[in-house]
Structure 1
Amino acid sequence: MVTSGHQGTVCRDGNPTVLPVVHNWSLLNVARVIRAILKCKPDIVHFQFPTNGYFDVLVPILGVLPKGPKVVVTMHEPLSVKPSRLPWVFRPIRNWLSIASADAIIVVAQSYAEFLHGVSERMRRIPCELIPIASNIPVSQLSTEAVREVRRQLGIPRGTLVLTYFGFVHARKGFDQVLDLIKILEQRKVAAVILVLGELLGRDPYQKDLLDRISNDPVLRSAVKVLGYLDSDAIADHLAVSDACVLPFVDGVHPKRGSFLAALDQGIFIVTTSDPPKGYIADENVYYAKQGDIDAMALAVQRHAAPRRSAASHPVRTWEAVAQEHLRLFKRLLQ
């Protein structure tokens, strides 16, 4: 908003005004938040969900105020049915009152909008805007020669397949399947290394098991290179170095997966999971395997892994675009 010249009460000289009124989400504090909103007299109040803290009351209260602000609600997570504790009360989804009371809804995935529209006629009447998020990782500017130099510095022999894994290492991300994939490639006489762009310190039983497995297996001990925490530029460069990024999410990829978006923006080949599996999508340079189908992932790596595409060959979504799409929606609401 600042770079677009849209400055107002909460945004002066590029610095947003923070109102330190949310000490907790007790009902007493909800009243304090409402008073602060009314005093500020905004044109639009934008709520970001998921959260259970609002008690489903803030949005409905603002919605019934005479000459109150327009209320926009963003749903960032997949929606699910949640039966009410009282069988005669209609509350099919979490935060239903807030969603039903909004003047507009923003979703980050088309499937979220389809779910909402299937709930009730009331939901179908509320304007619903699809605004996907962007990646927080920039696009690497490494040249082909610079990529070779990074590989040399990492001690990776020529002809070795370079795979990357980016993100937190925990069970839902399926990192154990990455190790399985490395073993399958080794059995197929494919030399490969995996660069882990994240920390693997044995802080929980899952990570401890992974470290034990790596240390006790000569193939994995040689192939797994844990680079630890890196800044955003270094993450981009190491993704750009790889022939493939392997992201075997246990519950499948969805549009808010930052690691997937970061890899997608680099133009590298990605192996991930989805339900249903979609196979190789050439325009995206992504192979979508069934969750847990490690053989299919390994075969996809063998078939499609390659140096990254040029930046001009694929669209890169920016946060500027995200902001502009929000502004267009806000303007329509105020017309």
Structure 2
Amino acid sequence: MRLLILTGRIEGCGIGMYAKHLAAHLSRVGVDVVLGCVGDGKGGWVSDEDGVRVVRIDVRRGVGMWDVLDRWKPEVVHIQYPSSESLALYLFYKALKRFYRRVPIVTTLHERPNSWRVWPIVWGAKVVISPRWAKLMWGWKIATMKRMVHIANASMLPSAKVGRGGREKLREKWGVGKKKLVLSFGFLTPANETELLFQICDVRKHRLVVSGRAFEQTEAYHAALRDRCGEYGWDAAEVFCGYLDGQRLSDLMEVSDAIVLPYRDGGDDWNTSLLAAMEHETFKLTTSKKRRGYESETNTYYARIGDLDEMKKALERYIGVRGGDVRQGRQWEDVASEHMEVYGRYMNVIEWCEAVERS
């Protein structure tokens, strides 16, 4: 099978990293896959990145969508939506639907789009990451007879490699001292409610570290975060450490006293950051629309969204507690296998149509 996966940028983008992980594991089972990155500003033909063939699609540098289609002649096109380049992906989607009808398009919906103009791509989705979206769109599936599947997510971080003697050394490196180390990570966007950390944590008791990257669209928000940080007595230069690669972030999670993820829409099994945190014994504090209170099985406290008092009390009570079932969670081999079933379903439809035409 020749597969083209389309996404926005890879570096610093959760959906882009998801696409890269998916491409890597599909290639291991024999899929001839190319990952097309739209508008990341680099341009150029194929490069091999961690075993994944990547093509940077940038019309300004002479690498357009039709160039990629003519060169690889994919049997399936898989769009990851939304992304850092949502509008460009939407335009490609519309063009493919109109001019490239012979190839099935599979669209994965990761999050709710921020513009009504792109809702046609939502209604055409074949895969959803969030079970909440699967439930919300059941009426549309019935009305249009479209098949949609929920494919659960998996962690994108490696296992921690902190030895017995490495824990204290790493904490010393981060200047923890006698304080408790509180870690938050993810993209610096309003949806992650990073500004709440400055009130949930206590500057006198906690060493707060925020790992994340801001996009061009969120630079103003990032600047406001740094200003807000100072208003509550924190030193922004110490709090914000920038982007940490997977291994360093996993090691830091392992030696932290608490991981705090105060999401605006609540955390769930679709969130790769929360899934990664679940693979550590470190205490986790997050928000949820359904779950409430402390769950010893995962050493996680689920607070009401935006409830600062509840989150403060939970952090004070459970910080430093270690435990829970930290067995390795869902594997990417499972994610790839379920995608193969989706691709096969739509390829069979195309093959059947071609057979009818030939007859």
TM over 0.5: yes
Q: Aligned ranges for residues 1-335 of structure 1 at < 5 Å?
A: 1-7=26-32, 16=53, 18=55, 20=57, 23=59, 33=65, 37=69, 40-50=72-82, 51-53=86-88, 54-55=90-91, 57-58=94-95, 60-61=97-98, 65=101, 68-78=102-112, 82=116, 94-96=118-120, 98=121, 105-119=126-140, 121-123=142-144, 125-157=145-177, 160-169=179-188, 171-183=190-202, 191-198=205-212, 205-214=223-232, 217=233, 220=234, 225-253=239-267, 257-276=271-290, 278-306=292-320, 308-309=322-323, 313-335=326-348
CA-CA distance at 1:199 after TM superposition: 7.1
TM-score (norm 2): 0.67
TM-score (norm 1): 0.71
Q: Secondary structure at the match of 1:275?
A: coil
State the AA in 1 paired with 2:317.
R
CA-CA distance at 1:299 after TM superposition: 1.8
Counterpart contact for 1:199–1:226, Cα < 8 Å: no
Q: Secondary structure at the match of 2:155?
A: coil
Instruction: State which structure, 1 or 2, has the greater radius of gyration over its C-alpha atoms.
Output: 1
Counterpart contact for 2:130–2:150, Cα < 8 Å: yes
State the AA in 1 paired with 2:301.
Y
Task: Indicate how the Cα distance of structure 1 residues 122 and 81 shifts in structure 2: closer, same or farther if over 3 A, else same.
Answer: farther
Task: Indicate how the Cα distance of structure 1 residues 279 and 58 shifts in structure 2: closer, same or farther if over 3 A, else same.
Answer: farther
Q: Secondary structure at the match of 2:251?
A: helix
CA distance in 1, matches of 2:103, 2:87: 22
Task: Name stretches of at least 5 consecutive residues in structure 1 with no aligned partner.
Answer: 85-93
Task: Indicate how the Cα distance of structure 1 residues 264 and 154 shifts in structure 2: closer, same or farther if over 3 A, else same.
Answer: same
Task: Indicate how the Cα distance of structure 1 residues 38 and 156 shifts in structure 2: closer, same or farther if over 3 A, else same.
Answer: closer
CA distance in 1, matches of 2:34, 2:255: 45
Task: Indicate how the Cα distance of structure 1 residues 306 and 5 shifts in structure 2: closer, same or farther if over 3 A, else same.
Answer: same
CA-CA distance at 1:296 after TM superposition: 0.9
State the AA in 2 paired with 1:75.
L
Task: Indicate how the Cα distance of structure 1 residues 328 and 288 shifts in structure 2: closer, same or farther if over 3 A, else same.
Answer: same
CA distance in 1, matches of 2:52, 2:133: 32
CA-based RMSD: 4.0
CA-CA distance at 1:243 after TM superposition: 1.8
Q: Secondary structure at the match of 1:271?
A: strand
CA distance in 2, matches of 1:142, 1:274: 30
Out of 126-135 and 3-12, give the one that drifted further: 3-12
CA-CA distance at 1:245 after TM superposition: 0.6
- Offset from partner CA, 1:165-203 (integer Å, 9 cap, x none): 2234455433332121223x96xxxx3322233479998
State the AA in 1 paired with 2:339.
H
Look up the match of 2:355: none
Q: Secondary structure at the match of 1:300?
A: helix
CA distance in 2, matches of 1:301, 1:71: 45
CA-CA distance at 1:240 after TM superposition: 0.9
Task: Indicate how the Cα distance of structure 1 residues 12 and 329 shifts in structure 2: closer, same or farther if over 3 A, else same.
Answer: farther
- Percent identical across equivalent pairs? 25
Task: Indicate how the Cα distance of structure 1 residues 207 and 281 shifts in structure 2: closer, same or farther if over 3 A, else same.
Answer: same
Task: Name stretches of at least 5 consecutive residues in structure 2 with no aligned partner.
Answer: 1-25, 36-45, 349-359
Counterpart contact for 1:202–1:208, Cα < 8 Å: no
Task: Indicate how the Cα distance of structure 1 residues 153 and 121 shifts in structure 2: closer, same or farther if over 3 A, else same.
Answer: closer
CA distance in 2, matches of 1:283, 1:95: 39
Counterpart contact for 2:33–2:53, Cα < 8 Å: no
